[in-house]
Amino acid sequence: MKHLYINGQWIEGLGDERPIINPATEEIITMSKDATSEQATKAILAAKRAFNETDWSTNSAKRVSTLRQLADLVEESKYSLAEIESENTGKPLRESEIDVEDVAGCLRYYADLIEESKPFEKTMADGTVSRVVQEPIGVCGLIVPWNFPLLLGMWKLAPALAAGNAVVFKPSELTPLSILKLTELLEQTDMPKGIFNLLTGDGKVGAALVESDLVEKISFTGSSETGKRINEQCASTFKRVSLELGGKSPLVILADADIEKSAEWAAYGAFFNQGEVCVASSRILVAKEIYEEFLTKLVANVAQIKIGSPFEAHTELGALISQKHLEKVESYLLMGIEEGAHIVCGGKRLQRQGYFLEPTILSNVKQNMRIVQEEIFGPVVTIQAFEDEAEAIKLANDTKFGLAAGVLSSDVKKAKKLASSIKAGTIWINSYHTPYIEAPWGGFKQSGIGRELGPHGLLAFTETKHINESTSLETLGWYQFSH
């Protein structure tokens, strides 16, 4: 059971042992042993050594070709990677297959970006040539959650490696399996030993990365609570940090929107990946004129969503990640009812093995309720009616989060105006959910700091160096020296 990968070697963790569970069957897939803090230090030292002693940070052509090699290997292993991902997360196989395609796409995108990148250069008025180069930071600690283990991992890994860094990667303790398989593929590339290191384990292993003086950058995706702690720890040494955190994203449906299509997008926005998506549109805000008709349509749609094993061809909604998480989501339903909300549909577990919960719509909600303000991270959506656009904007912005939003309307001009008033890092007009590798992703307010994807995602793994170049040393004449 060698689940750690340090300096090009598979090693057994010497820490706690934990079962890795299939959430759709509750069966143990395998046992895994966490890294200890000593093993974390070994991985960090191996990364530091590889960063300093190999040509990885300076040889961009090698990085480009290695990333492309890995993309080829990912594509060749598409089905086994997708199967592993679905078995470990409970998500429908068709979704895992899309994730794996995007993983390969992300590698190719950053390989292309590095190949095409040129330093900024300008000759200044005094003849100085000003050159701005992006240099790798050094050892980067990459910490990811369980909802898209491979894809969110690659959103960090591809730009970190493309920029020339060495990395220590820590997946969620619940979902290490697809990253283990990816590591086997990485081994087959020309990447120097020690540039990629993998540590499995829980928050203690992540904390070891955050606390190490040798780790120069932390890129974290996870809850706002953990992100806050990491941000505070990094601040004491000015460690570079990027944070992709939680959300409570609104989907605003204007009175002129097509009700049938809106009801389809609203279900997709809220329940894709069992609602375990940071940008899930977990708050539906709908114009009062169409509220009743829209809700009737939405309920009819949601009742037909097919819940089941990730591997059944017709499955549209899989299992939640764990018993603990299922109980947390259910506790929010109880809390909502106690606060006065109504369960319009769903809300029950499936009577079978696995952590399955029916997609749930909560109405009769008020803005100050915890079910409206806090991230539930499951197949649960609240619905509220608004009087006019001013109220829609007020409700949309009235949480501590600012990750994403959607606006549905047949009047794109009106939707754009509304979008400009919503405080969120990503806004979809007449669509939802699709991330584009070429465009930035991240949050306003307590949804995070920094951006992933696109050129922004690459810059996040670099330091900017400005080199001022004069071709010869002239006499300065600033002081009146007498010789």
Q: Which residues bind ligand NAD (CB under 6 A)?
A: 143-147, 152, 170, 172-173, 202-203, 206-207, 210, 221-223, 226, 229-230, 244-247, 278, 375, 377, 403, 443, 448
Q: How far is the CB of 214 from ligand NAD (least distance, A)?
A: 16
**Complex with ligand NAD: residue 280 or 295, whichever CB lies closer:** 280
Is 278 among the catalytic positions? Answer: yes
Q: How far is the CB of 467 from ligand NAD (least distance, A)?
A: 34
Smallest distance from the beta carbon of 295 to ligand NAD, in angstroms?
26
Nearer to ligand NAD, 316 or 375 (CB): 375
CB of residue 268 vs ligand NAD: minimum separation in angstroms?
17
Closest Cα partner for 231 from 242, 246, 222?
Answer: 242
Taking the C-alpha atoms of residue 335 and residue 358, their distance in angstroms, rounded to an integer, is 17
Active-site residue identified among 83, 244, 375, 389: 244
The closest residue (CB) to ligand NAD is 206
Which CB contacts under 8 angstroms, 24+ apart, belong to 54-63?
54/192, 54/194, 54/195, 55/192, 56/164, 56/166, 56/191, 56/192, 56/195, 57/135, 57/136, 57/164, 57/165, 57/166, 58/164, 60/114, 60/115, 60/164, 62/190, 63/111, 63/114, 63/161, 63/162, 63/164
Closest to ligand NAD by CB, 45 vs 241, is 241
Rank residues 62 and 229 by Cβ distance to ligand NAD and give the closer one: 229
Least CB distance to ligand NAD at residue 146 (A): 5
Does 345 participate in catalysis according to the annotation?
no
Q: Looking at beta carbons only, is 151 or 267 nearer to ligand NAD? A: 151
- Give the residue with the Cβ less far from ligand NAD, 11 or 215: 215
Residue closer to ligand NAD by CB (options 77, 446) is 446
Q: Residue 214 or residue 343: which is nearer to ligand NAD going by CB?
A: 214
Q: How far is the CB of 337 from ligand NAD (least distance, A)?
A: 23
Smallest distance from the beta carbon of 278 to ligand NAD, in angstroms? 3
Q: How far is the CB of 356 from ligand NAD (least distance, A)?
A: 19
| Catalytic entry in 106, 140, 234, 278 | 278
Residues annotated as catalytic (active site), given as ranges? 244, 278
